[in-house]
Amino acid sequence: EAQVTQNPRYLITVTGKKLTVTCSQNMNHEYMSWYRQDPGLGLRQIYYSMNVEVTDKGDVPEGYKVSRKEKRNFPLILESPSPNQTSLYFCASSLLPSGQNTGELFFGEGSRLTVL
Amino acid sequence: DQQVKQNSPSLSVQEGRISILNCDYTNSMFDYFLWYKKYPAEGPTFLISISSIKDKNEDGRFTVFLNKSAKHLSLHIVPSQPGDSAVYFCATPSGGSNYKLTFGKGTLLTVNP
């Protein structure tokens, strides 16, 4: 089954404790991206990756890091989480960059993160 | 500054009637638009898209209309069903590379039986 898998789905942590949210896709997609969803703010892009070793900032990259060492994986790293990073996070992938052909993103089910 | 605006946070309609969800954008250079649907506790799923070379795209009960002069698009759902109750986001590739997908804030549609 084609899917984007995120882990963990739920996490409560404390300020400053490094954490990683993993994302894996089994569709051989080149493009992967991270979004956060907050009430009243919709979905905002954090980082994206066009392919292995190619990453770039989205609209809200502060406090986050990413890496793309393998095509299927795109982990989101919070080196020193703060309460304002409490949010619902979505990983997504697509065969082509958005804006070309269908531009259809496939999303994971989300990871709800709470930073105390 | 919001590049994609969904000014109605919520919309409630009766089953069988038409649902119209609206989206405005600021940049006339945007040339491709998508609608996503999101149920609680799930990730968004792609619904329908439209290119700026068209003014209408239809897929079953879902039709998207694009008015380029007004920088406005709308999603029509006819007839609406209770299972359509979800948050709907419009989105467009933004930025010079088209590699960023910018979303509106979403509209919560409730279809009442």
Label residues B36-71 b or e (16+ Cβ within 10 Å = b): bbbeeeebbebbbbbeeeeeebeeeebbbbbeeeee
Q: Which of residues 68-107 of B touch A (CB under 8 A)?
A: 89, 91, 93, 97-106
**Burial of residue B12, with CB atoms counted within 10 A of its CB: 0-12 exposed, 13-18 middle, 19 or more buried:** exposed
For a pLDDT cut of 70, what percent of chain A falls above it?
93
Band (pLDDT 50/70/90 cuts) for residue A2 is confident
pLDDT in tens, B85-110: 999 999 988 765 556 788 999 999 99
Does the distance separating the beta carbons of A106 and B46 come in below 8 Å? yes
What is the SS3 assignment for A106?
A: strand
Average per-residue pLDDT for chain B: 92
| Comparison of pLDDT for A60 and B31, the residue scoring more | A60
Does the distance separating the beta carbons of A45 and B102 come in below 8 Å? yes
pLDDT in tens, A3-57: 999 999 999 999 999 999 999 999 999 889 999 999 888 899 999 998 899 898 9
HSE, side-chain direction, 13 A CA sphere, residue B36:
26
Does the distance separating the beta carbons of A102 and B46 come in below 8 Å? yes
Q: Is the pLDDT of residue B22 over 90?
A: yes
What is the DSSP secondary structure assignment for residue B102, as one 8-state letter? E
CB B109 within 8 A of CB B11: yes
* Residue to substitute from A29, A32, A68, A105, interface B, most B β-carbons within 10 A: A105
